[in-house]
Amino acid sequence: MSLLQTAIRPAARLRLAAPMMTVTAVRHLSFKPIYTAESTVKGARNGHLTTKSGSLDVKLDMPKEFGTKGGPGTNPEELLGGGYAACFGGAL
C-alpha cells in the first residue's frame, strides 16, 4: 500500500461515519460584513455541493490520483484554486 493510500484510508472511514457535516464559524465583529456566502456539502469528497444562492450546484469526486476510480465531478482543490484565482485577479 502506498503512503498516499495509507493517508487517505482514515479519511475514507471518517466519511462513512459522518456523511454530512456542518461547520459553523462565529466571530464577534466590530463592523458589519459587506457580503457573506453559505454553502452545503453532503457526502464529503464524493458528494454534492450547493450554495444557498443557488448559483452553484456541483457533484464532487475524488481524482484518480488519490487511488479512486475518479469521476466527472470536480473536487475541493479545483474549487479552492478557482476561487483564489478569481479573488487574486479581482485585486489586481
Tens digits of per-residue pLDDT, 16-44? 444 555 566 666 777 888 888 999 999 98
Phi, psi torsion values for 82, nearest 5 degrees: -65, -40
How do residues 36-92 score in pLDDT, each as one tens digit?
A: 899 999 998 889 999 999 999 999 999 999 899 989 999 989 999 999 999 999 999
pTM comes to: 0.60
Instruction: Tell me yes or no: is domain 3-20+36-91 CATH 3.40.605.10.
Output: no
- The C-alpha atoms of residue 92 and residue 24 are separated, in whole angstroms, by 31
| DSSP H or E segment with residue 13 | helix 3-17
Rg (CA), the chain: 16
Domain boundaries along the sequence of the chain:
3-20+36-91
